[in-house]
Amino acid sequence: MSQLMIKVGMASCGVAAGAGDVWKAIEEYMANNAPDVTLEKTGCIGMCSYEPLVEMKSAGKDMITYGNITAEEVITAIEAHLNNDAEKLESVAKRIIPRVETLDKQSRIVLRNTGIIDPTSIDEYLANDGYKALEKALKNMTREQVIDEIKASGLRGRGGAGFPTGLKWQFAYQAKDDKKYIVCNADEGDPGAFMDRSVLEGDPHSVIEGMIIGAYAIGADEGYIYCRAEYPMAIRHLLIALEAAEKLGYLGKNIMGTGYNFELHIKEGAGAFVCGEETALMASIEGKRGMPRIRPPFPAQSGLWGHPTNINNVETFANIAWIINNGAAKYASLGTEKSKGTKVFALAGKIKHAGLVEVPMGTPLRDVIYEVGGGMLTEKPFKAVQLGGPSGGCVPKELLDTIVDYDSITKTGAIMGSGGMVVMDESTCMVDIAKFFLNFTQNESCGKCTFCRVGTKRMLEILQRITEGKGEMEDIDKLYELSENIRKTSLCGLGQTAPNPVLTTLRYFKHEYIAHIQDKKCPAGACQALIKFEIDPDKCVGCTLCARRCPVNAITGTVKQPHVIDQDACIGCGACEAACKFGAVIKS
């Protein structure tokens, strides 16, 4: 073992925050000084708000994690560790993050290797029990036994709907056809969600292994990973992993000498959110426009090119090998009665430790946010948490004790979804947030179903009117009517769930809608059209600064005289408020 082990988080989140520079600096340092240091890259360590993250472990000592570290500081830290230089150690101490805080409450199955191993090295995966489950399944288990094991584990589809995985496999297994397919849905597109990307970047083999086991179970000999093209690193790591797995005989003809053949392809998606819907995804793989179709027939009966097809998402597949290795009972011991195992969440928004976490099912939302996530980012109090992305909804503070479990979350009007969790404080306008998510679904609708294509547009227009203070009380009724029918008359989940952000905000924050409509006020002070800036003539000293900062020249006045804002010209940007040193600009 080297004197010092260094690991750098080199997933997209790390690279975006500057991990590349840190990496380069360390490499350079090593080239020049040739210290006794082992340098490794790894995937997402999970604490994205602290990126770039570097872990250092001196021989015989505990590992120390540095966050928000710069290229310069990392060298100082290395030198500090190598030379046991207390002074230098002190100077970088502020970058040390108490890792325990975020990890204690977690239990990592899906993320068992992510942020720990080098994802481009199959050896490291193998060193962590990689492909042992596959071997076990292929050599010691029948297809039925594999399916039974997964059924016994209670694993439910992590794509959002929570359909029991084992049952799904059983349907595909029972379908009679010479040709079957297995597909991994890696078209993660929810705003604020990055679970699948992190797993693919940080531990691609776990997904591949899960897929091969699934393929074996249902009797498929060909598979596709449908990954969005916006995830270049995930695709790169997958390709490396595929090649390595094939080389070592885990993929391709006669896998591990068992006579079982399986071929796996990667299909890059073109960036349509709706392609995350299984029938649209299959159309896209077939080279058609990604549009959902009527079900039945379900993919298990007639999927890709008319053959039985099983589709699971990344996180689901990443669980499989663990379950086979550790047994269904161990998996089922985690979680609640109806939701077993763990769930990965991507924490984002106004939360201290934004990042990737994995908690056992049954953990209360409050614990996820306040303990795992470290609580609110600023002083502003918690208002709501958005779960499930554009198909989900907002859970208010009164319901913070809701536990993470498919059925409990559904009861709130939100959905578990794929695991996006956006935390909002009092400065967030709930009408505006509904508008944001609806705008997303509206733009991403494939355009097929009337209600989804036109209905969501009309809802969006109503929300737009409301946030501009032009709404009427009947608009709320219209929102309900449209929501109800859009929910009931869309072919796919995108349309069926599109009204959810509006319905949940109406359920818990109707007063905010009414305030916009009746009082022409945005309680959160977020809707620009409803903000009014005025100058208090008693406080204004006529310094002219606000007038100079105003981008639309809406402020007039002579020097040393109180200024006035022309309300018709004002666009509510707040530049004047920020500029005024005397607190004379009043926002209302």
Can residue 489 be called a binding residue for another protein (CB under 8 A)? yes
198: number of Cβ within 10 Å: 28
Q: Which is nearer to another protein, 380 or 448 (CB)?
A: 448
| 60 SS3 class | coil
Stretch that binds another protein, among 185-193, 209-217, 323-331, 475-483 (CB under 8 A): 475-483
Q: Which is nearer to another protein, 287 or 551 (CB)?
A: 287
In 3D, which of 122, 97, 121, 123 has the Cα closest to residue 45? 97
Q: Which of 28, 398, 481, 566 binds another protein (CB under 8 A)?
A: 481
Strand boundaries in 140-218, DSSP class E? 181-186
From the CB of 449, what's the least distance to another protein, in Å?
A: 6
From the CB of 438, what's the least distance to another protein, in Å?
A: 11
Q: Which of 80, 280, 385, 449 binds another protein (CB under 8 A)?
A: 449
Can residue 291 be called a binding residue for another protein (CB under 8 A)? yes
Q: Which of 363, 386, 445, 504 binds another protein (CB under 8 A)?
A: 445
In 3D, which of 235, 172, 230 has the Cα closest to residue 200? 235
Q: Which of 78, 479, 482, 584 binds another protein (CB under 8 A)?
A: 482
Q: What's the CA gap between 45 and 69, in Å, rounded?
A: 14
Can residue 245 be called a binding residue for another protein (CB under 8 A)? no
Q: Which is nearer to another protein, 398 or 461 (CB)?
A: 461
* Residue 416 CB partners (closer than 8 Å, separation 6+): 160, 162, 343, 387, 388, 404, 405, 406, 409, 410
| Dihedrals phi, psi of 312, to nearest 5 degrees | -130, 165
* Residue 214 CB partners (closer than 8 Å, separation 6+): 169, 182, 220, 310, 312, 317, 320
C-alpha torsion sign, points 280, 283, 285, 289: negative
Q: Which of 257, 294, 538, 551 binds another protein (CB under 8 A)?
A: 294
Can residue 30 be called a binding residue for another protein (CB under 8 A)? no
Q: Which of 76, 496, 497, 505 binds another protein (CB under 8 A)?
A: 496
Q: What's the CA gap between 18 and 156, in Å, rounded?
A: 36
From the CB of 159, what's the least distance to another protein, in Å?
A: 17
Q: Which is nearer to another protein, 381 or 447 (CB)?
A: 447
Can residue 476 be called a binding residue for another protein (CB under 8 A)? no
Can residue 543 be called a binding residue for another protein (CB under 8 A)? no
Can residue 457 be called a binding residue for another protein (CB under 8 A)? yes
Q: Which is nearer to another protein, 170 or 442 (CB)?
A: 442
Q: Which is nearer to another protein, 38 or 450 (CB)?
A: 450
**CA–CA–CA angle 556, 559, 563 (5° rounding):** 35
Q: What's the CA gap between 541 and 35, in Å, rounded?
A: 63
Q: Is the peptide bond before 296 cis (omega within 30 degrees of 0)?
A: yes
* Binding-site string for another protein from residue 267 to residue 286, where x marks contact by CB under 8 A and - marks none: -----x-x------------
In 3D, which of 192, 188, 172 has the Cα closest to residue 180? 172
Can residue 488 be called a binding residue for another protein (CB under 8 A)? yes
Stretch that binds another protein, among 66-74, 165-173, 300-308, 438-446 (CB under 8 A): 438-446
From the CB of 292, what's the least distance to another protein, in Å?
A: 9
Greatest distance between any 2 Cα atoms in the chain: 90
Q: What's the CA gap between 87 and 78, in Å, rounded?
A: 13
Can residue 450 be called a binding residue for another protein (CB under 8 A)? yes
DSSP annotation string for 68-136:
S--HHHHHHHHHHHHHT-HHHHHHHGGGB--THHHHTT---STTSSTTTS-TT-HHHHHHTTTTHHHHH
Stretch that binds another protein, among 186-194, 425-433, 478-486, 530-538 (CB under 8 A): 478-486
From the CB of 274, what's the least distance to another protein, in Å?
A: 8
Q: Which is nearer to another protein, 144 or 461 (CB)?
A: 461
From the CB of 529, what's the least distance to another protein, in Å?
A: 18
Q: What's the CA gap between 253 and 262, in Å, rounded?
A: 6
Judged by the rule CB under 8 A, the positions of this chain that interact with another protein are 272, 274, 289, 291, 293-294, 296, 442-451, 453-458, 461, 478, 481-482, 485, 487-491, 496
